[in-house]
Amino acid sequence: MEVPRELVVCVFLHGFKGGADTFLTFPDRLVNILSPCGIALEPVVYPPYDTRGELVTAVDNHVTWLTTLVAEKTARFRELGGTGPVRVVLLGHSMGGLVIADTLLSTLPSASLPILGLIMYDSPLIGLNPAVFKSTFDKALDIASKGQAALAALGAGYGLFKSATSKPASPANSAPSSGKSSPAPSSSSKATTARNGKDDKVAVPPPAESASATPGSNWMSFPYIAAAGVTAVFGAAGAAYYNRDTLAKHWTWATSHLSFVGELWKTDELEKRLQEVVKAKEKGVGFHCFYTLIPAKGTAPDRTFLVLPHSPALRAHFTPSRTIQASDEIGAHIHMFDSDATYSLGQETAKLITEWLEKSRRGEMGFWKGDAAKGGPAAQDGETEKLI
């Protein structure tokens, strides 16, 4: 078997409430497109992790796991006789895009990981489209109000609801539990339980899905799912003994996930993160985001799941993935890798990886050892791209 001159490891990371099946056959699609071009691409799907607690915990776990993965892939490549570089491309869907962005930014100063570029899919880097949030929030309010009415009818009353939710929630870890790749060593005692395997994953009370939720949808559905779960608990128990501890568990489940997606409301941090990711181009790291777009129809305008940046310099890094199959923005977002736009999305992604790889071969990308190489293309530009 001929050993390729370099190895490209593509790591796929799901978003909020996603899983190992988020990308479906998309990773294999990229392999099939790039193999005839002589590019040895090895796809790795990051093990499913709890999308709850602080985002920084998910980032720390991802960095630890990724560092081990790169070391293992590099050692194996060398054993097979490979002498060229090992390059890493991180691909994240939805909130997974924020995780890989922070992974890059946390490792860039030390140049500890050979990250060639970041590719994001519908990642709300500067926030959600207000229309999407309003629709979801209206559903949440409707279900929540019905849940409170059910509690009152059972004699529980709002007082019990308030007392049950007064307990402070314990910080939850966001650690991978299983996946195609080898497990990473634990970076802290808190993450150990979640890393041992599917059976050892931190136990979280499963919510009851609302009938009004979009089939198969996970993104942003937890507010009304949690409320429906509380209602279901009290309905099943009748007037019996599901007490404040049980109710508090359901509330903790909801609020811990809210903490994770709460990053989307930190507007200053969102804008700073995006600017720093784009600025990483000076260090030879690429970035691009593909976003779902439902074309205008009749009097209805174009619809997107995320908010697009106004700055032309930033907007240049965003490309629409047009779909006429989806009925709404959330559906387009969730089925991004199983829609009428998936074929072209695979072609565009493969083209981007090819361009980055060719540039790295010419020394125009991939400066991982501290500052950009003196005299190299990045150093000769003389100007930093205006981001604001």
Adjacent-strand bridge partners of 44:
11
Q: What is the mean pLDDT of residues 356-378?
A: 66
pLDDT of residue 265: 73
> Three-state SS for 301?
coil
**pLDDT surpassing 70 at residue 62:** yes
Q: Of 28-32, 187-191, 360-364, where does the model show the most confidence?
A: 28-32
Of 98-102, 266-270, 300-304, 358-362, the range with the highest mean pLDDT is: 98-102
Tell me the mean pLDDT in the region 105-124: 94
Q: How confident is the model at residue 204 (pLDDT cuts 50, 70, 90)?
A: very low
User: What pLDDT is stored for residue 129 in this prediction?
Assistant: 84
**305 Cα distance to chain centroid:** 14
At 325-346, the pLDDT tens digits run 888 888 899 999 999 999 999 9
Task: Please count the other Cβ atoms lying within 10 Å of the Cβ belonging to residue 384.
Answer: 9
Mean pLDDT of the region 17-46:
91
Q: Average pLDDT, stretch 8-30?
A: 91
pLDDT value, residue 20: 81
Task: Kindly report the pTM of this predicted structure.
Answer: 0.68
pLDDT at residue 134, as a whole number: 60
Q: Which of 61-75, 149-163, 295-309, 346-360 has the lowest mean pLDDT?
A: 149-163
Return the higher-pLDDT residue of 218 and 278. 278
Over residues 126-148, mean pLDDT: 61
Q: Mean pLDDT throughout 337-359? A: 96
Which residues lie below 8 Å from residue 297, measured CB to CB, with a gap of 6+? none
CB hemisphere CA count around 342 (13 angstroms): 20
Give tens-digit pLDDT for 149-187. 444 444 333 343 344 444 454 444 445 544 444 444 444
Please, are residues 325 and 215 in contact by the beta-carbon 8 Å criterion? no
pLDDT band per the 50, 70, 90 thresholds, residue 53: low
At 220, is the secondary structure helix, strand, or coil? coil
More confident residue, 98 or 192: 98
Arch. (CATH architecture) of 7-129+266-380: 3-Layer(aba) Sandwich (3.40)
| Rounded average pLDDT over 23-50 | 92
Mean local confidence (pLDDT), 358-363 = 90
Could you give the CA distance from residue 57 to residue 99 in angstroms, rounded to a whole number? 10
More confident residue, 106 or 214: 106
Nearest CA among 336, 340, 255 for reference residue 292: 336
Predicted local distance difference test score (pLDDT) of residue 137: 52
Please give the average per-residue pLDDT across 223-231, as a whole number. 43
pLDDT-wise least confident of 126-140, 212-226, 318-332, 344-358: 212-226
DSSP assignment letter at 383: S
Domain locations in the chain? 7-129+266-380, 130-264
Strand 286-294 to 303-304 pairing:
antiparallel
The whole-number pLDDT of residue 1 equals 59
Residue 92 predicted with pLDDT over 90:
yes
Name residue 9's beta-bridge partners: 42, 88
pLDDT of the residue at 131: 76
Looking at residue 176, what is its pLDDT?
Answer: 55
In this prediction, residue 368 has a pLDDT band, given cuts at 50, 70 and 90, of low
pLDDT tens for 238-289 read 433 444 454 444 444 444 445 556 777 788 888 999 999 999 998 899 999 9
* pLDDT over 90 at 48, yes or no: no
Confidence at residue 337, expressed as pLDDT on a 0 to 100 scale: 96
Instruction: Give the DSSP letter string of 265-297.
Output: G-HHHHHHHHHHHHHGGGGT-EEEEEEEEE--B
Q: Are 90 and 280 in contact (CB under 8 A)?
A: no
Residue 37 DSSP label:
G
